[in-house]
Amino acid sequence: MNRRLTLIVAAVAGLGMVAGCAAPSAPGWTFAPAASPTSGTLAGASPAATLGTLEIEAFDLGFTPAQLTVDRPGRYEVRLSNTGLVPHDVTFPDGAFAHAGPGEQVGVVVDVPAGGVSFLCSIPGHAAAGMEGSIVVRGQAAGGDDHGGPLPAGEVAADPNAPAYAPRDASAPARLPGDVHDIDLVITEQQMTVAPGFAQAVWTFGGTVPGPVIRVKVGDTIRVHLKNPAGSKLSHSIDFHASQVAWNDEMRSIAPGEELVYEWRADYAGVWMYHCGTAPALHHIANGMYGMVIVEPRAGLAPVDHEFAIVQSEWYLGPQGQPTDLEKAMAAAPAPDFVLFNGVADQYKDHPLEVGTGKRVRIFVLNTGPSIDSSFHVVGTIFDTVVKEGVSLERGNDGAWGSQAVDLAPAQGAFVEFTTAEDGLYPMVTHAFNFVGRGALGLIQAGDGDPAS
Ligand SMILES: [Cu+2]
């Protein structure tokens, strides 16, 4: 890169301030599931020594009753019935813990002190979604204990030792050959650097965020073999917006160690979202479980010189190395720490997409949210072709109509086409400009990037 270009890059980078730190994290009290519970399940407990039995139902997502009252402090047997579709647990601050799969009933013995005790479901996201409760002693003030957990509220600071992020190739893949496609998709729960200095415990389809781009044509049959490895902590599922299937069949959640086959036919062309729909779906999407499906018309799309696939999404940072923060994501006016393209904040500012000057560029763009709208714009270009959610603007139309930005609510997709007028840099942004400084900035470099050369 010559000096002039370096200066240009520095100037363009000024379009957005690099997000320096995250908004305050405000987790409720929480704590890790006890590896060795201080109280066993019913089989190992001594119910005879308890003062009584407390029945609690766990559903998706809450406890009923969420507040229980006992007459005096002491040891109680808690029986948990899971009537939900995904696993839950009941976890107490002293480590007493019992895990119940869907339809199961389990028990645990817990000490209820005079001041009462709180409990929650420790499966990530469940407490924040409402799975909290307490046991109070009659005549005592409600509110339970206050020694719940090690996680302080506060900012998530950048960690200089966080691993470097892995840049994602933005090139759109070729359409899959043939008419019937068997696709293995393995769910992972893993660490990922989502911006320089910030690592999170993400959940993925296929080991990347976003998951793989799947590109087919109208009329194709797609059989996705979804596998949730035995080592996973959570149930997961998949929902292809390009499909027409029953929610409670193919989109059902599968527990760790389970698999399912999700078969569908591509009846409609478009740029579609897929995502995990397991409760709380907001957390599973916010934590990385989404991707793009491109369904071309049966006759295919006209060839162009360059094709890219761009997914806009949000990160609501949890503590370093932990899952993203569901409480932040749940806010009525959500304020993501990062809004970004293809999983990592600002990655294409650091690694521009290279195109030939005057060549036709097609970008498939999808907003997976979970909650923020996109106004997708490429500075210095006009889209002469836009196909968004079944509505098209065609190149060469009689009125010479063009498009400057494509509005994409969460779960909407489009493709746009344009050419670059001269060598230079063409920033790719969401024109919701408060987010450009939070990672939603990439560069398209035409030629050598230097208009003067
Ligand atoms: Cu999931």
pLDDT tens string 246-274: 999 999 999 999 999 999 999 999 999 99
Specify the pLDDT at position 76: 93
Domain boundaries, position 332: 3-19+161-446
Ligand 1 center to residue 124 CA distance, Å?
A: 11
User: Phi first, then psi: what are they for 433, rounded to 5°?
Assistant: -75, -15
Label residue 138 by pLDDT band (50, 70, 90). confident
Helices (H) and strands (E) in the chain, counts: 4, 28
Instruction: Flag whether 93 is in a domain.
Output: yes
Instruction: Flag whether 252 is in a domain.
Output: yes
The average pLDDT across 435-444 equals: 95
Q: In the predicted model, what is the mean pLDDT of the chain?
A: 88
Look up residue 10 and give its DSSP letter: H
Ligand 1 center to residue 142 CA distance, Å?
A: 35
Instruction: Flag whether 32 is in a domain.
Output: no
Instruction: Flag whether 156 is in a domain.
Output: no
Specify the pLDDT at position 417: 98
Label residue 67 by pLDDT band (50, 70, 90). confident
The answer, yes or no, to whether residue 434 has pLDDT greater than 70, is yes
Instruction: Flag whether 151 is in a domain.
Output: no
Please state the domain count of the chain.
Answer: 2
pTM: 0.77
Specify the pLDDT at position 124: 86
Neighbours of ion ligand 1 (CB under 5 A): 236, 276, 278, 284, 289
Instruction: Flag whether 34 is in a domain.
Output: no
Q: How many CB atoms lie within 10 A of CB 367?
A: 28
Ligand 1 center to residue 203 CA distance, Å?
A: 7
Going by C-beta distance under 8 Å and a sequence separation of 6 or more, which residues neighbour residue 200? 191, 192, 194, 287, 315, 317, 318, 320, 321, 322, 323, 324
Residue 444 is encoded by which pair of tokens?
Answer: 């398209």
Label residue 15 by pLDDT band (50, 70, 90). low
The answer, yes or no, to whether residue 66 has pLDDT greater than 80, is yes
Ligand 1 center to residue 280 CA distance, Å?
A: 9
Domain boundary among 121, 137, 153: 137
Instruction: Flag whether 25 is in a domain.
Output: no
Ligand 1 center to residue 152 CA distance, Å?
A: 26
Instruction: Flag whether 46 is in a domain.
Output: yes
The answer, yes or no, to whether residue 42 has pLDDT greater than 80, is no
Look up residue 326 and give its DSSP letter: H
Q: pLDDT of 337-393, one tens digit each?
A: 999 999 999 999 999 999 999 999 999 999 999 999 999 999 999 999 999 999 999
Q: In the chain, what percentage of residues exceed pLDDT 70?
A: 86
Ligand 1 center to residue 207 CA distance, Å?
A: 13
